[in-house]
């Protein structure tokens, strides 16, 4: 989230699209109710189902899953053509005025530079024109046909209300009603907020769905303001934290990158990370990258990271592909290229697509290690559960070690909520049986491995034996020690270069924030964006003062929010060019003539003069981006692409299948239904229920009583056509597998007309499996396709094709 849950009360219009907050984030959704009750805010829901968010909406518009970009580009087209643009925001605060290089073009769904064989672009033309002064060329008058604004206008022109109806199945009137309500928020005193979740991410173009809305929010002037923003509701309790800390193939904590093999040494690695400002006076905060990186390496490797060895740069693995994301790893597993696999609190047999392929992969491992508080399907993938998991254990040679871990109620530490608040928590109970904390387990594994390398030698032991592990009890580091390490500390006294008698940093002290990090090895810091979370003043994450000056919804003394305890990202943009709030009744910060003051921590240097320095300090432009240059694989603007499995061909680019740059492994093409394949005529989608959390709560008696049994949801029309009764058994199958479930026949789902064709939707909740307290069921990922988003490889769980028939139910032996 750019903003916070408590800030939603400040909005005038909530758009829930790509999520279902009333059911999946109920206590956060309260703030929508609050805004409706106290400000008279309106709620729009755009979703394939008339869900419980829609039930309390002021307006609901149906949409076919996988067509969100057409809808969003349609909204942008509407705002541009009806002059619903906050010009005083767009001109100075976005890159609308920037001129794009000659050579860039877009036609029939493709940008310049497409290589069909590689399914990739050569993106050289997707850049700004650079002037003789070394800065990007801008045209304040917006006359240049190659400025971003004019390219955008041209790009979205095809997404007319008629086209939106044709692609999305949303009736034109409904679309226009949404467009009208959204357009009203282009004034400086009206604000819209976007609430989205996996309904947008789980597509082969998920990242571009979100970009589409971010662009719209910029055009309306709604980023950085109270009651505005792009608000990813987020799933697990610390999914934000794990991302911040870079527990991903290609990341280093704080959104730094693992090097690739094209960057054999530190100098080469840094050469593309200069982040030189693209306009005069801009902050371009990533210029400090080297400080963040070196301090991280000091935290990882302590004295073993020195200036002489390039801060142990060789210790970091170098990537040969963009990333070893889970889809790639399970593909490798299926090919027998993975031997050992760890699942820490993770149930991949249910969490990734195409269960059949996943199970085949797990069966090729030599060893699978499970660390979990609960039983999981993955831990028992080798166990025969009849029709729910038909296997012969004797055929599976994988050794499985299952380790019992503590849960939230038995451990201490911080979790990051969707609003980036790091909230410390305390344990309330003793662990059951022999369960241990994950930290203890990781420490034990590390110490044993280190011992083996010390004793026996072996392949490149250096990064293991030199790992900085200077905890009081190396076998059990404490949460306090680890939190302090992430915050960062001073390693060596630092003196003022102008006055060598003046000590500016004292060895052994905690840093007060990331502004103190240095690139000469004198500071260490595990995660720069968390710096400030545990300072000399103590544990900022444990703060529990719920005062809220001005009723602004900021709560600056409650826990700690990254970065720098800031609650609304880009809050400089809540003021006009001169530093006056767009809406004085919703002030966040303002320029008092000498500095920035207000209810939030300013997202700009406190004395940076308003007309000099742009609000988007992380970007070299100083502005936000309507056009993203080369930063996304599938194009600088979003384009409507159909899901890989779709009932219709792409109306705007009939020759293109799916997202043209999404990665598909050769064997998987065969597992996709053809476009419009009559054998799989219905559009499937997956989702959660309010009573369940993924695959956990089927281990919970109460939740299993509330929602005991697997079902699928279909319209009355489809039920009639197929002879399916309410509560009757059905069989649902895709090209990859099948499941049996009870049918919920409902008015909440209606058939849609897409490009002249009737499309029925089959809704598949995901919560069942073959272990737990609920009735056994089929894992929903039996049905879903093995393909991910082109930029970040999030699987396409939200749009796939199935067939359905009435049935006698599963044969349970």
Residues with Cβ within 8 Å of residue 456, at least 6 apart in sequence: none
Q: Does 606 bind ligand SF4 (CB under 6 A)?
A: no
Q: Does 383 bind another protein (CB under 8 A)?
A: yes
- Give the helix/strand (H/E) hosting 32: helix 26-39
Burial grade of 658 (CB within 10 A; 0-12, 13-18, 19 or more): buried
Of 691 and 755, which CB lies nearer to another protein in the complex structure? 691
**Three-class secondary structure of residue 153 per DSSP:** helix
- Shortest distance (Å) from residue 351 CB to another protein: 5
Q: At residue 100, what are phi and psi to the nearest 5 degrees?
A: -90, 140
Structure-token match 């393909």, residue found: 787
Axis-axis angle for helices 68-81, 161-168 (nearest 10): 170
Of 294, 305, 329, 754, the residue at the interface with another protein (CB under 8 A) is 329
Q: How many residues bind ligand SF4 (CB under 6 A)?
A: 3
- Shortest distance (Å) from residue 452 CB to another protein: 5
Residue in 508, 586, 518, 519 with CA at minimum distance from that of residue 552? 586
Return the half-sphere exposure (C-beta side, CA atoms, 13 A cut-off) of residue 798.
Answer: 27
Of 458 and 809, which CB lies nearer to another protein in the complex structure? 458
Of 135, 273, 773, 807, the residue at the interface with another protein (CB under 8 A) is 773
Site string for ligand SF4, 26-55 (x = CB under 6 A): xx----------------------------
Of 620 and 765, which CB lies nearer to ligand SF4 in the complex structure? 765
**Piece of 19-27, 455-463, 533-541, 586-594 that binds ligand SF4 (CB under 6 A):** 19-27
Query: Between residue 287 and residue 306, which ones bind another protein under the rule CB under 8 A?
Result: 300
Tokens for 675, please give them: 């476009």
- Shortest distance (Å) from residue 372 CB to ligand SF4: 19
How many residues comprise the chain?
A: 813
Beta strand spans in 696-760 (E): 711-715, 729-733, 738-746, 752-754, 757-759
Q: How many angstroms separate the CA atoms of 375 and 370, rounded?
A: 10
**Three-class secondary structure of residue 199 per DSSP:** helix
395 binds, among ligand SF4, another protein, none (CB under 5 to 8 A by kind): another protein
409 binds, among another protein, ligand SF4, none (CB under 5 to 8 A by kind): another protein
- Give the helix/strand (H/E) hosting 523: strand 523-524
**Three-class secondary structure of residue 598 per DSSP:** strand
Q: Which residue is nearest to ligand SF4 (CB)?
A: 27
Query: Between residue 201 and residue 230, which ones bind ligand SF4 under the rule CB under 6 A?
Result: none
Query: Between residue 543 and residue 562, which ones bind another protein under the rule CB under 8 A?
Result: 544, 546, 548, 555, 558
Q: Does 270 bind another protein (CB under 8 A)?
A: no
Of 39, 273, 446, 742, the residue at the interface with another protein (CB under 8 A) is 446
The distance of Cα 255 from the centroid of its chain, to the nearest Å, equals 13
Of 26 and 727, which CB lies nearer to ligand SF4 in the complex structure? 26
233 binds, among ligand SF4, another protein, none (CB under 5 to 8 A by kind): another protein
- Shortest distance (Å) from residue 158 CB to another protein: 32
Of 53 and 94, which CB lies nearer to ligand SF4 in the complex structure? 53
Contact of 371 with 441, CB cutoff 8 Å:
yes
Of 119, 177, 364, 425, the residue at the interface with another protein (CB under 8 A) is 425
Q: Does 795 bind another protein (CB under 8 A)?
A: yes
Contact of 92 with 623, CB cutoff 8 Å:
yes
Of 10, 65, 423, 561, the residue at the interface with another protein (CB under 8 A) is 423
Q: Does 303 bind ligand SF4 (CB under 6 A)?
A: no
Of 6, 16, 25, 47, the residue at the interface with ligand SF4 (CB under 6 A) is 25
For CA atoms 137, 143, 145, 151, give the dihedral sign: positive
Query: Between residue 220 and residue 249, which ones bind another protein under the rule CB under 8 A?
Result: 233-249
Structure-token match 């302590």, residue found: 302
Q: Does 482 bind another protein (CB under 8 A)?
A: yes
Of 288 and 398, which CB lies nearer to another protein in the complex structure? 398
Q: Does 409 bind ligand SF4 (CB under 6 A)?
A: no
Return the half-sphere exposure (C-beta side, CA atoms, 13 A cut-off) of residue 747.
Answer: 2
**Piece of 21-29, 64-72, 303-311, 575-583 that binds ligand SF4 (CB under 6 A):** 21-29
Query: Between residue 700 and residue 729, which ones bind ligand SF4 under the rule CB under 6 A?
Result: none
Axis-axis angle for helices 326-334, 355-362 (nearest 10): 60
- Shortest distance (Å) from residue 302 CB to ligand SF4: 37
**Three-class secondary structure of residue 204 per DSSP:** coil
Contact of 361 with 354, CB cutoff 8 Å:
no
Residues with Cβ within 8 Å of residue 121, at least 6 apart in sequence: 111, 112, 113, 114, 115, 633, 634, 635, 661
Q: How many angstroms separate the CA atoms of 282 and 136, rounded?
A: 12
**Piece of 91-99, 183-191, 320-328, 804-812 that binds another protein (CB under 8 A):** 320-328
Q: Does 436 bind ligand SF4 (CB under 6 A)?
A: no
Query: Between residue 687 and residue 706, which ones bind another protein under the rule CB under 8 A?
Result: 690-693, 696-697, 699-703, 706
- Give the helix/strand (H/E) hosting 454: helix 438-456
Residues of the shown chain interacting with ligand SF4 in the complex, contacts defined by CB under 6 A: 25-27
């Amino acid at each position: 989230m750019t903003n916070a849950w408590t800030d939603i009360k400040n909005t005038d219009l909530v758009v829930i699209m790509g999520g279902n907050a009333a059911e999946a984030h109920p206590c956060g959704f309260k703030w929508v109710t609050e805004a409706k009750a106290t400000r008279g805010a309106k709620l729009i829901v755009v979703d394939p189902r008339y869900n419980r968010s829609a039930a309390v909406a002021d307006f609901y518009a149906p949409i076919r899953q996988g067509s969100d970009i057409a809808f969003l580009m349609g909204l942008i087209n509407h705002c541009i053509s009806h002059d619903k643009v906050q010009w005083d925001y767009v001109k100075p605060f976005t890159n609308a005025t920037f001129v794009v290089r000659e050579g860039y073009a877009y036609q029939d769904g493709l940008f310049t530079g497409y290589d069909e064989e590689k399914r990739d672009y050569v993106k050289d033309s997707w850049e700004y024109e650079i002037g003789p002064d070394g800065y990007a060329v801008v045209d304040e008058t917006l006359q240049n046909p190659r400025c971003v604004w004019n390219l955008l206008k041209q790009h979205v022109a095809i997404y007319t209300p008629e086209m939106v109806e044709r692609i999305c199945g949303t009736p034109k009137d409904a679309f226009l009603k949404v467009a009208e309500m959204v357009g009203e928020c282009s004034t400086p005193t009206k604000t819209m907020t976007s609430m989205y979740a996996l309904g947008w991410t789980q597509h082969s173009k998920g990242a571009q769905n979100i970009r589409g809305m971010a662009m719209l929010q910029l055009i309306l002037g709604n980023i950085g303001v109270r009651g505005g923003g792009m608000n990813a509701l987020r799933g697990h309790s610390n999914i934000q934290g794990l991302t911040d800390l870079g527990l991903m193939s290609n990341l280093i904590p704080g959104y730094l990158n693992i090097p690739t093999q094209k960057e054999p040494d530190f100098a080469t690695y840094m050469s593309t990370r200069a982040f030189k400002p693209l306009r005069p006076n801009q902050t371009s905060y990533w210029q400090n990258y080297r400080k963040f990186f070196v301090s991280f390496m000091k935290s990882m490797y302590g004295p073993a990271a020195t200036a002489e060895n390039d801060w142990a740069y060789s210790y970091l693995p170098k990537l040969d592909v963009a990333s070893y994301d889970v889809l790639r790893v399970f593909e490798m597993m299926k090919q027998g290229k993975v031997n050992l696999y760890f699942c820490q609190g993770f149930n991949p047999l249910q969490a990734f697509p195409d269960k059949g392929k996943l199970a085949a992969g797990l069966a090729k491992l030599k060893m699978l290690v499970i660390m979990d508080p609960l039983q999981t399907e993955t831990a028992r993938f080798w166990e025969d559960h009849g029709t729910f998991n038909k296997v012969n254990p004797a055929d599976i040679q994988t050794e499985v070690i299952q380790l019992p871990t503590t849960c939230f109620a038995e451990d201490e530490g911080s979790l990051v909520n969707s609003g980036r608040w790091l909230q410390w928590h305390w344990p309330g109970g003793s662990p059951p049986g022999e369960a241990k904390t994950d930290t203890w387990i990781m420490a034990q594994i590390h110490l044993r491995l280190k011992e083996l390398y010390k004793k026996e030698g072996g392949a490149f032991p250096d990064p293991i034996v030199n790992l900085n592990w200077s905890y009081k009890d190396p076998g059990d580091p404490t949460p306090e020690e680890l939190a302090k390490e992430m915050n960062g500390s001073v390693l060596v006294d630092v003196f003022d270069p102008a006055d060598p008698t003046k000590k500016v940093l004292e060895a052994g002290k905690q840093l007060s924030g990331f502004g103190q990090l240095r690139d000469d090895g004198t500071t260490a810091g595990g995660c720069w964006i968390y710096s400030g979370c545990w300072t000399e003043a103590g544990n900022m994450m444990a703060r529990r003062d719920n005062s809220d000056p001005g009723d602004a919804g900021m709560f600056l003394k409650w826990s700690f929010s990254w970065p720098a305890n800031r609650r609304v990202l880009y809050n400089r943009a809540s003021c006009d060019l001169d530093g006056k709030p767009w809406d004085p009744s919703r002030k966040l910060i303002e320029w008092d003539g000498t500095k920035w003051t207000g209810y939030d921590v300013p997202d700009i240097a406190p004395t940076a003069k308003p007309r000099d320095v742009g609000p988007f300090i992380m970007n070299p432009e100083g502005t936000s981006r309507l056009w993203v240059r080369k930063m996304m694989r599938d194009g600088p603007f979003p384009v409507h692409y159909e899901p890989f499995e779709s009932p219709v061909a792409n109306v705007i680019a009939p020759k293109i299948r799916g997202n043209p740059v999404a990665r598909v492994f050769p064997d998987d093409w065969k597992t996709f239904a053809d476009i419009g394949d009559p054998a799989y005529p219905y559009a499937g989608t997956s989702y959660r229920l309010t009573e369940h959390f993924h695959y956990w709560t089927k281990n919970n008696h109460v939740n299993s009583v509330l929602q005991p049994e697997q079902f699928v949801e279909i319209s009355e029309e489809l039920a009639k056509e197929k002879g399916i009764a309410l509560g009757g058994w059905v069989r649902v199958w895709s090209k990859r597998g099948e499941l049996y479930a009870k049918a919920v026949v409902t008015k909440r789902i209606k058939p849609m007309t897409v490009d002249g064709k009737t499309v029925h939707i089959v809704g598949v909740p995901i919560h069942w499996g073959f272990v737990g307290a609920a009735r056994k069921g089929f894992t929903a990922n039996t049905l879903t396709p093995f393909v991910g988003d082109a930029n970040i490889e999030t699987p396409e769980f939200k749009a796939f094709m199935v067939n359905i028939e009435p049935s006698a139910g599963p044969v349970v032996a």
